[in-house]
A = this chain, B = another copy of it.
């Protein structure tokens, strides 16, 4: 198992990336890590005894404000591009990055490549179900801005494969995000998608679900178009962040009494933070490609990097991509 790591992507790179890889390599000593990036920078955080960690030196990197497709095409020696090339050439089995999301999506599509038969790979994250240890997979989170019903059906199948293989859910319940739960509800896109999903026998489609209910676990997989998925993800993130910072401010403003109260509630507040933290499920996967292409937040720390490596390990071990190929690629006539 070989993972190509873009060591230069993210706000805290390469330190957080290298430290995360070191954490993960303790759990998975058989994984070969290929770190793409500036050797002198990377070496600062390594000792000499990590024989399963290789450095592939390059000076070039993609910045967070680079225009994605142009960056992938022009910066041929960028750490992210070289890591994607390694996957394409069969020298690595998966790619990890905390860098420019758009560029990683472009690298995934243009370099790693789609599985034959999958029209639009979807960006998938496992989100927390509040008050429970499980989560739900939401896709597409914005790999595509415009989708057809057929794409959404493929998202349903992709999500179902992911939930089954990577999260170990036997018969994932697939819901369609809609503006009401009734069968007749929706836009032209969701009405047509509902019809097609109802006919798709390879998944367990449970009907429409509303954004209000997804955090409570009404479905294991929630399917939506990339524009709506992006808006829903950012609404959840924005609301959670704002509530937490408002709570902090309210506590600070309420003086000594508030501070003692907060101290007594420390465990409860920590529990709240843990429950909302979806980095615990790993990163976002551009799913439907020939290999795992996985992205974590740019501001990520070593722990979240290690969690994402663990997620990639599960994806590789379960051979979820091979299962997808089996499902989607037209069978050859032997």
Contacts and interface: CB of A to CB of B under 8 A. Distances in A.
A243 B272 contact: yes
A240 to B, nearest CB: 6
A206 interface: no
B232 A246 contact: no
A263 B265 CA distance: 10
A117 interface: no
B240 A268 contact: no
A265 B275 contact: no
A250 interface: yes
Contact of A258 (B238, B244, B264): B264
A254 B266 CA distance: 9
B272 A265 contact: no
Interface stretch (A16-24, A37-45, A75-83, A223-231): A223-231
How many A residues are at the interface, by size bracket?
Answer: 35 or more
A251 interface: yes
Interface in A175-197: 177, 179, 185-188, 190
Nearest to A270: B250
A36 B325 CA distance: 62
Contacts of A254: 265, 267-268
Nearest 9 pairs between A and B by C-beta? A261-B264, A250-B268, A235-B235, A261-B265, A211-B234, A212-B238, A212-B234, A239-B239, A145-B187
Interface of A: 130-131, 142, 145-146, 177, 179, 185-188, 190, 210-216, 224, 226-228, 230-232, 234-247, 249-251, 253-254, 257-258, 260-265, 267-269, 271-272, 275-276
